[in-house]
Amino acid sequence: RNVSTGAPEVMVNFVTSCYKPELLVPLVDRITKISEVVSVVNNVNTSVGNTSVGEQEYTLYGKPTITEMLRGLTFQISANSFFQTNTKQADVLYKLIGDSAGLKGDGSEIVLDLFCGTGTIGLTLARSAKHVYGYEVVPEAIADAQKNAQLNGISNATFVQGDLNKINETFGKEFPKPDIIISDPNRPGMHMKLIKWLLEVKAPRIVYVSCNPATCARDLDYLCHGVEEKGLRGCYELKRVIPVDMFPHTPHIECVCLLELC
């Protein structure tokens, strides 16, 4: 939505194997006759695969980002940064995450937001926290998260670009021990290196947000019961799991899971 007018904003992203904008001109001309379309971008991805994230990105029409308003905050969204597509249910989802996080609201707690995307979850919690640290592998998403913090006047949030599947022994040294960890991985779930780190750091609460019940169940089992073959002992108790229907008319659900240190 446009922040000033509330009018809908639509971004169209063409993913192609090479950059030949002249071939897209007829499509762009037709699409931009739709008033809601305010951005048309072309992501170029030369590799074989189903990802929409390109190696280069070009703006073919309008602006490079669109905006959305969620839980009293404004977010800029680019084509390569993840943002929940169902905004009405995203509002429900983030309220459940906030309720599960259970921040005291006195500004004394450190929040670690793993797989933070454009910073939506972390920024909605920042006003009740001492500081929020967000980690995300996609550099465009981190750039959006930093812009979104500035856009909303939030100064107690730090966003870092890094691959959470490739963490080493230095991870966690650059921020205080978190009181609450939010983890919202993509469908493959969390890497064993990250599971190991979580079991070592022992934050009092973890809110695990998942779009894949199978990998969610696997990771929760690791955190609660450990991984015997890896010599890892579980140290969390699963308090609740709340499913959220983010994708109507499909079998897919999102789950908000609360774990507490035991």
In a shared domain, residues 143 and 257 = yes
Verify that 56 and 126 share a domain, yes or no: no
Q: Same domain, yes or no, for 48 and 175?
A: no
Considering the domain architecture, whether residues 110 and 31 belong to the same structural domain is answered as no
| 136 lies in some domain | yes
260 known ligand binder: no
The CATH number for 100's domain is 3.40.50.150
Indicate if 53 and 91 belong to the same structural domain.
Answer: no
**Same domain, residue pair 163 and 190:** yes
Q: State the chain's mean pLDDT as an integer.
A: 92
In a domain, 73, yes or no: no
Whole-angstrom distance, CA of residue 56 vs CA of residue 59: 10
Q: Is 84 annotated as a binding residue?
A: yes
Whether 91 and 30 map to the same domain: the answer is: no
164 domain-assigned: yes
55 annotated among ligand-binding-site residues = no
Structural domain total, the chain: 2
- Regarding whether 124 and 52 lie in a shared domain, the answer is no
Q: Is 115 annotated as a binding residue?
A: yes
Q: What is the pLDDT of residues 94-107, one digit of tens each?
A: 999 999 999 998 99
- Edge-to-edge order in the sheet of strand 205-210: 157-161, 131-136, 110-114, 180-183, 205-210, 254-261, 236-244
- Shared domain for 205 and 87, answered yes or no, is yes
Which residues participate in catalysis according to the annotation? Answer: 211
Consecutive H or E run containing 240 = strand 236-244
Q: Does residue 156 lie in a domain region? A: yes
- What pLDDT, on the 0 to 100 scale, is given for residue 39? 96
Mean pLDDT of 110-138: 94
Residue 3 lies in a domain: no
Q: Do 41 and 95 fall into the same domain?
A: no
pTM: 0.84
Give the residue numbers spanning the domain of 156.
83-261
Same domain, 58 and 109: no
Per-residue tokens: 83: 């943002």
- What confidence tens digit (pLDDT) does each residue in 40-70 have? 999 998 887 767 777 788 999 999 999 888 8
Q: How far, CA to CA in Å, does 4 sit from each of 135, 142, 156, 160?
A: 30, 25, 26, 30
Is residue 177 within 8 Å of residue 194, measured between CB atoms? Answer: no
Which range of 61-75, 77-91, 171-185 scores highest in mean pLDDT? It is 171-185
Regarding whether 199 and 125 lie in a shared domain, the answer is yes
**223 belongs to a structural domain:** yes
